[in-house]
Structure 1
Amino acid sequence: MTSSYAARTDARSTTTPEPTEPVLAYDGAAPFPVDTVPPHARDRGERLSLVITAAIVALPFIGLGLALTLLWGRFVHLSDVLLALVLYVVTGLGVTIGFHRGLTHGGFTARRPLRIALAVAGSMSFQGNVVDWVATHRRHHAFTDRPGDPHSPYRYGTGPGGLLRGLLDAHVGWLFRHDPTPADRYAPDLLADPDMRAVARAFPALCLLTLALPLAWGWIVGGTWVHALVALLWAGLVRIALLHHVTWSVNSLCHMVGRRPFRTRKHDRATNLWPLALLSFGEGWHNLHHSDPTSARHGVDRGQLDPSAAVIRVFERLGWVSDVRWPSRDRVAARRA
């Protein structure tokens, strides 16, 4: 931890826009008002977007099911598992370091080549284009666990049935609601950045690339279409499905289950959930993140593994990032509940 972070925070508070919204009349228990467009009222473009979203969500999950029920122990190869691990790490860090801690919250300033590389890696996670991802996440912070939050498990109230329905909605259901987040309001800095606009436009091609790489790898290593398809299944679809559900679990489980050692805003129920910490590269320490969103480190207590913060530290030492917002001891102490 460094002592310079606290002194720099206020001066840099406008570097990355974090929209502030008026607190709506909400008691923390009632269901959110209905504010989405019913399915029959959607136009052709919106229905097409829904179909694409369904494919992005369902296909990796179907691939996971096929892998577990048909192929394990018969066709899986060690090289496929190793490639899946490498791509999981690269694309996962693209999301946590690039999309989240860097672009969304301004936890550090990356040199241009690294900024672009992280945005490309995050885009290959199949979680949406970089501009929309950042806009949606900033909106989540502006309205955390109250009306306006795009994915809160408290959307349907705090009764047993409402919480179960809300948990499912926060995990994946929110992707199927027509509830667009305006990028010009929540991510104007990215819209003004030609590099980020280019990466956002390239999102469909990057989705194809993240599947083509394991397909080509399987063909090169095995020399047959069977090997290529098995590599696509494990290092493509299964890897994407796992990262999807880890990311979505931060949206859902990390607002319902776990500890809350740090103070957050009214109605914000973000928690620390240690079982997710390693798989999510440190994003499971979600309570500290919501208490201090611009901090480059989320796991601040002893024993809290935060691989994303460790990689940011390496980037800093290599001179690839600067102005890293490392949490000071005083700042962490001041946020404890």
Structure 2
Amino acid sequence: MSRAQRNTNLAAVIIPLLAFFAAIVLLWNKVVGWNDLLLLAILYVLTGLGITVGFHRMLTHRSFQTSKAVERTFAVLGSLAVQGSVIQWVSDHRKHHAHTDEEGDPHSPHAGFAGGGVKGTLKGLFHAHVGWILTEEGGAARAQYAKDLVEDRGMRRISDNFHWLVLLSLAIPAAGGFALSGGSWKGAATGLLWGGLVRIFLLHHVTWSINSICHFVGTRRFDVDDHSTNVFWLALPSFGEAWHHNHHTFPRSAQHGLKRWERAMDPSAGVIWALERLGLVWNVVRITPERQAEKTLTQQV
């Protein structure tokens, strides 16, 4: 990783963090209104689904097929989440699946941290949550892990223009705040703060929690050779990604929630179902109960 890329990633971690503390500690009930929270909620959902439905289930794992227009729409939405360019994100995540919790996994809390006691555990969790962004992000060979996207001119264009999409991710809530406040520059500033920086901070840490928490604590019921877990209380804010053990057992499944009550807490699967009903996606991968039973541990832990 170059120094410029490391500094950019560091800024992407620190600036939303500082904005979050400024917003919560200093500005709550002073310069936040319903317009700001509305922008935060709408953009959190849209950009979050851009990551979970777009970057993850559609582009990384090809859990369903769709048109180029739908692919590129979700690729743009995912880019607005400011978690890296689409080709970089997919490359890193495919590498994670190729080396899960072993040497080569870019963000495992276990690989390289075994036997370290409490100190090693904390180091592993920090690395999996945020430390890897400063050392490993973008390290996966794109030609190896995301050749299909590298060869797609539209995806290359979206990926190469990621920096402009970051600016757009901030400009949209600022413009929205300006419009909703009747042309107030204060409205633009608070829209930028809450709908932009605070939203990016929240979505970052929910996504990163899948890397850290969902490889450390939680429940398991399938026979897989990694440390992935299901964490129910993260399911809704992560749009179903926290059924992470299920996902590592059946990576191509469009549904990460496999039990009926888990599916109720997998909004991404619901969006895919709705798109399927509209004829916008097809060949959706779902796992039969029989296949699940084949992988289920005799004694669940």
**TM tier, smaller:** over 0.9
Contact 2:177 2:190 in 1 (8 A): yes
Match of 1:272 among 230, 254, 259: 230
Contact 2:235 2:242 in 1 (8 A): yes
The aligned residue for residue 82 of structure 2 is: 126
Match of 1:194 among 131, 137, 153: 153
C-alpha RMSD of matched pairs (Å): 1.1
The letter of the residue matching 1:272 is: N
The aligned residue for residue 38 of structure 1 is: none
CA distance in 1, matches of 2:98, 2:193: 38
Q: CA shift at 1:220, angstroms?
A: 1.7
Q: CA shift at 1:133, angstroms?
A: 0.3
CA distance in 2, matches of 1:198, 1:160: 44
Q: Secondary structure at the match of 1:213?
A: helix
Aligned 1:64-213 pairs, distance under 5 A: 64-154=20-110, 155-158=112-115, 159-177=117-135, 180-213=139-172
CA distance in 1, matches of 2:175, 2:272: 31
Deviations 1:43-71 (A, max 9, x none): xxx11111111111111111100000111
Larger RCO: Structure 1 or Structure 2 (Cα < 8 Å, ≥ 6 residues apart)?
Answer: 1
CA distance in 2, matches of 1:327, 1:308: 16
Contact 2:47 2:80 in 1 (8 A): yes
The letter of the residue matching 2:206 is: V
The aligned residue for residue 10 of structure 2 is: 54
Deviations 1:172-207 (A, max 9, x none): 001111561110011101101111111101211111
Deviations 1:80-122 (A, max 9, x none): 1011111000000010011000100110011111111000000
Match of 1:235 among 192, 195, 198: 195
The aligned residue for residue 175 of structure 2 is: 216
Q: CA shift at 1:219, angstroms?
A: 1.6
CA distance in 2, matches of 1:178, 1:192: 23
The letter of the residue matching 2:151 is: A
Aligned identity (percent) is 47
CA distance in 2, matches of 1:312, 1:234: 28
Aligned 1:26-37 pairs, distance under 5 A: none
The letter of the residue matching 2:143 is: D
Matched, 1:328 2:284: no
Q: CA shift at 1:274, angstroms?
A: 0.5
The aligned residue for residue 300 of structure 1 is: 258
The aligned residue for residue 319 of structure 1 is: 279
Contact 2:106 2:136 in 1 (8 A): no
Q: CA shift at 1:152, angstroms?
A: 0.6
Q: Secondary structure at the match of 2:296?
A: coil
Match of 2:221 among 261, 265, 290: 261
CA distance in 2, matches of 1:48, 1:112: 32
CA distance in 2, matches of 1:178, 1:137: 12
CA distance in 1, matches of 2:277, 2:40: 28
CA distance in 1, matches of 2:280, 2:161: 24
Instruction: Compute the TM-score of the two structures, normalised by the length of structure 2.
Output: 0.95
The letter of the residue matching 2:230 is: N
The letter of the residue matching 2:288 is: S
What 5-or-longer segments of structure 1 have no aligned partner? Answer: 1-41
CA distance in 2, matches of 1:329, 1:238: 40
Q: Secondary structure at the match of 2:260?
A: coil
Deviations 1:269-303 (A, max 9, x none): 00000011000000000001001100000101131
Deviations 1:150-176 (A, max 9, x none): 001013114221111100010000111
